[in-house]
Amino acid sequence: MSQTTDPTQRSPRRSQPTRMSGLALACTLAAGAALATPAIAFAGDGDRGREGRPRTDVVVQQALDRLVAEHGVPAALANVTDRRGRERDLVAGVGDLATGAPVPVDGQVRAGSNSKTFVAAVVLQLVGEGRVDLDASVETYLPGLVRGPVDGHDITVRDLLQHTSGIGSFTDGPPFVVDGVPALRALKDRYMEPHELVALGLALPPTPPGAWSYSNTNYVLAGLLVQKVTGRPLAEAVTERIIEPLDLTDTYVPDRGERAIRGAHPNGHHAEPIGSALFEHTDIDTSSSWAAGDVVTTPGDLSTFFRALLAGEVLRPAELEQMKATVPMDLPGIPETWRYGLGLQSTELSCGELAWGHGGIIPGYQTDGGVTEDGRAIMVATTTAHFALPTDTGVAVSDEVLALVDTALCSGRS
């Protein structure tokens, strides 16, 4: 089943009451082919926009419905924003498989690795304030912490944010992977300290110096750097510098040991071993991702954040330019047009424009999307990570979502 919000215009800085009441694996690295969908308009009468083409929100709703009906995703949510700042929230599926409860419109989800962009933005604000130098060594700010095959004297703050440090990702070894198989269910209620995550990452074989290699350990180190420079907890820095100024009323960093999601949300689902039956996996201790992926948000808030970031409302021009200076994501299976900056990814759309964003995976949820330079945006969340689905199904879901992002953003140019 599906539902949509009232299709009236809404402000991108909507004011809503706060709804009261992860273990980030990687950014979205699956390649998808664009759907053969004609150009579509956002606004219009009925289900048709200009020149009789399907409205963007109608096409998005149809795609969400397919994710549920054809691919077995329990629930899917999306927020779509046009160039004029008008938003639509759409959902499909059910929020609770046990009770059949509906999906909360713009419900809270775990953002996974989208959290990295929040952390990178805080570091770059500190750069703008003259408190951090991107090209200074990690040793300058975290003396004695990075030792082993990779030494803190030899890598920079930029290397951390850009994933060129050579430090292994703590999620690639025990206890996250046992005998070559993900072992994430056992970590659901386990509390882990950031320094423990760093030690796990440093114990893994390094990657070639200067080569791009995605590592969650980089962002745990970036979070520790923020705490060392500011003298305050990372969660406080993210909240006071990003969440509160942008009025992201449904976004928060979980407290120490907090496992439940605070506001209205669809349940998350996981499968272990991969491809087996899905089980409910909502309440988890995200200390095992910390700065690499613990933020809770909504598709609408996530869209607001990325649009504000690209519009220059979060960083000064010099620091935003640094954030958008990208390098190739040079790994097998990743399209050549995908590039990574400082906690920010660019993707070339089929219409030739760039979409900016990140993507996030955490057991129970996955978020994908993009924002264009003129403020068009789409954010899509599913209540299971695509990697947990059977291989063919996971690929199909990834292809469908990435094609939807491309179609929605390219259609709104006129």
Q: Which residues are catalytic?
A: 113
Spatial distance between the Cα atoms of 177 and 173, rounded to a whole number of angstroms: 5
Strand partners, 92: 2, 76
For residues 100 and 10, the answer to whether their CB atoms sit within 8 Å is: no
Q: How far apart are CA 22 and CA 108, in angstroms?
A: 14
Q: Are 344 and 356 in contact (CB under 8 A)?
A: yes
Give the HSE-up count for residue 166: Cα atoms under 13 Å, Cβ half-sphere.
Answer: 18
> How far apart are alpha carbons 241 and 333 in whole angstroms?
36
At a CB cut-off of 8 Å and minimum separation 6, what does 153 contact?
A: 137, 139
Euclidean distance between CA atoms 271 and 362, whole angstroms: 12
Residues 342, 159: contact at Cβ < 8 Å? no
Sign of CA dihedral 284, 285, 289, 290: positive
CB neighbour class for 98 (10 Å; exposed up to 12, middle 13-18, buried from 19): exposed
**Six token digits for residue 397:** 């879901």
DSSP secondary structure letter of residue 26: -
Q: Three-state DSSP class for 163?
A: coil
Nearest Cα residue to 35 out of 58, 14, 59, 12:
59
